[in-house]
Amino acid sequence: MNHSTTRWIPRDGVKPVRIAIINRGEAAVRFMRTARVWSRRNAQPVELIAFYTDPDARAPFVQMADTAVALGDPFMIDASGARVSSYLDVEGLVSKCSELGVDAVWPGWGFLGESADLSDACKDAGIKFIGPPGGVMRLLGDKIRSKAFAEEHKVPVSPWSGRAIEDPEEARVMAEKIGFPLILKAAAGGGGRGMRVVHSEAALLNAVYVTQSEAKAAFGDDTVYIEKFLENPRHVEIQGLADGQGNAIHLGDRDCSLQRRHQKVLEEAPAPGIPDDVRNEVAMSCVEACKTLNYRGAGTFEFLYEDGQFFFIEMNTRIQVEHPVSEMVTGVDLIKEQLKIAGGEPLSLRQEDIVVSGHAFECRINAEDPKTFMPCPGNIKHFHAPGGLGVRVDSHLYSGYTVPPHYDSMIAKIITWGDDRESALSRMRTALDELVVDGIRTNTELHRDLVRDNAFAKGGVSIHYLEKKLKI
């Protein structure tokens, strides 16, 4: 039987399904909540297994788990001698899962969320990976191969070199075809690293050498390519869902343009001001690409949008931090759909079943200094989450919890929904005013400012807007 359709859910509904969460914090809590509901709705017992390091010993996800497995120190030494997070130990974690008789692994986002090695290791161990096959993840994780795939399958891309650039002379020839300004990108880059904007042929030669050297040092791979640089784009993404059995749908788009140093700060769905015909055409091209790939699970196509056109950036082969805004406007629980797909079920939703209703925002609350943006871990003296109609809070905080210094600084997501954009934005203003996090500094004040910003209120700001506003 094809691996993508192998059932791991017992047909008799008696034996508990053992699911290991290889993640922490809010992500782990988010999964557990849906898994419990899924278990009750399907009369299928579930046993949730959490792995945790010493700093997370008192974290809510550890207490919520049926079985909690201590990993000890937050860091480990890998085979290369590098010091890495214990949540990244593929071999050790899969070995523990095998010992525990785990049926499936959920990686979430961050850490091993896009690890093809984890997907392959789970397959080799006879454990279902709740996500795409490793081969698909590798293809889409390769920026050159994924861009070529997108172009081949009618997903719109910006003018680019079409392949890796081997030397400066080749770069010059390609630059003449593409036109300045252009951007050099490391094929193995990510998180805004390994990129260099070039405005003239005179600067191109040195830019190629420098970008290749930086890529080699940062990623161990000096492969670079060229694409057209867009001066003032927005960041818009399409949420996809596919079952690996030939069925795929999209759940509309999200605008993630409010960013600081390539890190998302605030998201919304749907993206404002985009013509429906343009939006629908690119979304359906993503659906067809998922079918061609035989993609399995949730995935996100990321685009730059400028002058009425979409240009493909990459595809993230995991569920995203900002997925709640898509859930709020469609009513679809993406985690539940991940579980059903991983269990071998075909998609129960058709494209015509997906109706985008109203508008939603998400503010990422980080434990960081609101001016310097330096992480601010420490003890939470008092935490009060906002509430009311159309307000959702995804968090792992509680009064007395200590935010550890070892991990990402995000501590909560405030999500609001309204019948229209202004209603959702008004609810977000109220929710942020109600939020209380005492004991540490957070970026709440930044969000309170952003949701009252006149330009943002109009909709459609570019990816450069926030940094210009902050003068960084």
Q: Tell me the CATH class for 159-228.
A: alpha beta
Percent of the chain with pLDDT over 70: 97
Q: At what angle do helices 323-330 and 334-342 cross, to 10 degrees?
A: 100
472 vs 348, residue with greater confidence:
348
pLDDT higher than 80, residue 61:
yes
The residue-averaged pLDDT of 27-33 equals: 98
At 1 the pLDDT is 26
* pLDDT bracket for residue 91 (50, 70, 90): very high
Q: Give residue-wise pLDDT tens across range 415-467.
A: 999 999 999 999 999 999 999 999 999 999 999 999 999 999 999 999 999 99
At 81 the pLDDT is 86
Pick 234-470's CATH classification: 3.30.470.20, 3.90.180.10, 3.30.360.10, 3.40.50.300: 3.30.470.20
Q: Give residue-wise pLDDT tens across range 178-192.
A: 999 999 999 887 666
The residue-averaged pLDDT of 148-152 equals: 96
Annotated catalytic residue: which of 234, 254, 279, 318?
Answer: 318
* pLDDT bracket for residue 3 (50, 70, 90): very low
Q: What is the pTM of this model?
A: 0.95
* pLDDT bracket for residue 6 (50, 70, 90): very low
The residue-averaged pLDDT of 370-380 equals: 94
The domains of the chain are located at 3-130, 159-228, 234-470
At 371 the pLDDT is 87
* pLDDT bracket for residue 62 (50, 70, 90): very high
At 86 the pLDDT is 97
Q: Which CATH code is given to the segment(s) 3-130?
A: 3.40.50.20
Of the candidate ranges 123-132, 210-219, 287-296, 342-351, the one whose mean pLDDT is the lowest: 210-219
Annotated active-site residue 30? The verdict is no
